[in-house]
A and B are shown apart, each in its own frame.
Chain A
Amino acid sequence: MVLAVWAAQTARRTLLIVMLILTMLLGCVFLGIKAIEYKDKFEEHHVPGASFSFEKVPIPGHPPIPGQPGRYADPSHAQLFFSLYFVMTGLHALHMIIGLGIFLWLLTMAWKGRFTPEWHTPVEIGGLYWHFVDIVWIYLFPLLYLIDRHP
């Protein structure tokens, strides 16, 4: 996306269009991976609610010892985690879908050649928005996927 802004600044119309399409493609790849992830969570009943089930998943670093309770993750804690997981990743994904809509609009504008080095404010602001969503993911990824992974 930052390359698209640069292309707009330096009046490279074709590069701007290519970079916008590339940004949208990679965004779709991310959302596709997210969809596969969500599908797995649904199949494993990890979605908080009436059908939530979380059993016999050992805490990382604590291999299950027969006859010892409390060595498994607490299901109610797990449900709390998955609530936060779905709200945070869901909100992030929603922002990405909005971003894809913005890029579609930017793409039609770029196609018509509306952007010049003097005026390309929509591209600039679209870039700011996209990188804000990026920063959110920079924090969400370690917080949701890597916390307590250590052995």
Chain B
Amino acid sequence: MYFGIWAVLLVCTLITYKAAFIELGRFNAAVALGIATFKATLVALFFMHVWHASEKLTKLVVIAALFFLLLLLGLTMTDYATRPWS
């Protein structure tokens, strides 16, 4: 199974590389980051064993970490998005 996940990750990297050369305007970054998030999810779920984690505590910790990461990025983006010169 690990080799399968690894193959999917490699294919996703290739797609990211190919997609970067297609003109999509501002959606280029969105596509690249979307694929990156999908890959990161695969790594966390399978290589970091979150999927098969038996304890609920592990899942709680992952969700809490994601929540605080979102807070961090979200509040940073509120600053960036509301600057008059941007």
**B40 closest partner in A (C-beta):** A135
By a CB distance below 8 angstroms, the chain B residues around A135 are 40, 43-44
Check B32 against A147 for contact (C-beta < 8 Å). Answer: yes
Check A139 against B36 for contact (C-beta < 8 Å). Answer: yes
Interface residue tally for chain B (C-beta within 8 Å): 23
Check B47 against A146 for contact (C-beta < 8 Å). Answer: no
Tell me which of A5, A132, A141, A147 contacts B28 (CB under 8 A): A147
By a CB distance below 8 angstroms, the chain B residues around A143 are 32-33
Query: A131 interface residue, CB < 8 Å from B?
Result: yes
Within 8 A of A (CB), among B31-86: 32-33, 35-36, 39-40, 43-44, 46-49
Query: A150 interface residue, CB < 8 Å from B?
Result: yes
How near does chain B come to A7, taking the closest CB pair, in angstroms?
11
**B48 closest partner in A (C-beta):** A131
How near does chain B come to A122, taking the closest CB pair, in angstroms?
15
Check A146 against B36 for contact (C-beta < 8 Å). Answer: no
Check B43 against A146 for contact (C-beta < 8 Å). Answer: no
Within 8 A of B (CB), among A1-22: 1-3, 5-6
Give Cα A127 to B44, complex, Å.
11
Query: A128 interface residue, CB < 8 Å from B?
Result: yes
Query: B11 interface residue, CB < 8 Å from A?
Result: no
Query: A49 interface residue, CB < 8 Å from B?
Result: no
Known: A2-B47, A138-B39. 20 other contacts (CB 8 A): A1-B47, A127-B47, A127-B48, A131-B43, A131-B44, A131-B48, A134-B47, A138-B40, A138-B43, A139-B33, A142-B16, A142-B32, A142-B33, A146-B16, A146-B20, A147-B28, A147-B32, A150-B20, A150-B28, A151-B23
